[in-house]
Structure 1
Amino acid sequence: MDWDRVVAALEQRVLAPGEEVEDRRDWPEASTFMVGDYGYEARPADWLISQAPWVDAAVRVVADRFMDNFAITYGLLFAGDQVLFLNEPATIRELGRRLGADVEPIAYAELLAELYSGPHIDEQTVLPFAATGAHRAGVLVRDPAAFAAEYEWVDPALVAAPAVRAAATGVELEFCSVRYFLTETKSAVDVLQWTVVGGGGRPASWSRRYLAERVERAYRVG
């Protein structure tokens, strides 16, 4: 992995003027460094889109403030000379032009689920906050049975497996996502349902609604 290129992309898209990368350490599988009060960790992402032939590398970067619900996830795709910053809604909408062609619908759903399941997704740059640096900011529900096993305090009837259908000019995709977060004394989840339309050269558009909000567990984990 070319960590210099990853850090350069973050300096261009994420860091504010005057912020400096300090105490950087690189390994083949990760790069870590500090920026102010945040500890950054960059690793190759296990997203499905990383398997696409046109993607040279997919990188997940977590900026951890070491406070509850204050670990920010950033997503980068490297393709030739291009760097796609997935926290920009404009970028991920453009990526949706390729749905059903060289972007698999479930791979696209996975990106939206992780990076766009938070409450605020209308900014120029979306900041998805995870419960801790060890948690994902959002997760795609692939299998309702697996969802029921992991989130046993949530009604499993709320969710369904992803569904992909041909649309008039591209692809229509429906799926569910879950966002896990910590409260003062407990942990909780939001469950969302998404409808995405894109492909056929048309930028993706989406709508989402909450199936459940702040469903608290009886005790806190994390």
Structure 2
Amino acid sequence: QITSTEGMTFVVPPGHITQAMYYRYLFADLLPKSVKRLIYLDADIICKGDILPLWQTDLQGRVLGAVRDWGEAKSCERIGLKNGRYFNSGVLLMDLVKWRQQKLTQKLFQWLDKVVDTKILWGDQDALNGVIDGAFTGLPKKYNCIVINNTVLKAEPDDVIVHYIDYVKPWHIYYYDSDEKKLYWQYVKKSLWSDLKPQDGNTVETVLLTARLLHNRGEYQKAASYYEAVLKYLLRDKYF
């Protein structure tokens, strides 16, 4: 249980990400020294296969293993990495012994204090890459398959871990119909929260996304009601 964020005053990127993204830095200090290895998973993840082989991965003396990120070249350029290797921090296999030995938590906080918000776009992920600077063990893509709503980034049948990045999530009503969306709700139905319903949006953008989705489904009357809500908002009910 994280009870204090004292000292964690560094940048939180705008959008759906919160200060909680930095909590993964604290595991080595919060957990007993007997805990030597850890798999960290983001909350927007479906694990649909056996992760024992991931747990047994040889880190080859590195402090962590991770999957290289989509669009890593731009991220390397943005934060000044010369090695061309940049990982996604949503799935991490962590050697906590080496983490403690290297005092990595302190180094990460120092990096964030130094950089401030001039280059940071992905918060904890940028700092981890900035400090580790390519010295990580690359994991197979199937252990962190990145998918983004309505794009070419899709899951494959043999993917073990599916990661729904970006701010539109499969639990939003306006997430486009896809196999990835079906996969998420299949697992919801198996969970303790099987009665969950998709969350509606409360911004012009999300209402428009919902309207387009309903229109694509052929539910024209429902789509029209969402378009009408946007018009009412933009016109401040002047003509309604």
The interval holding the TM-score normalised by the smaller chain is: under 0.3
Comparing both structures, which one devotes a greater share of its residues to helix?
A: 2
Considering Cα pairs closer than 8 Å and 6+ residues apart, tell me whether 1 or 2 has the greater RCO: 2
More strand by share: 1
Larger CA Rg, structure 1 vs 2: 2
**TM-score, normalised on structure 2?**
0.24
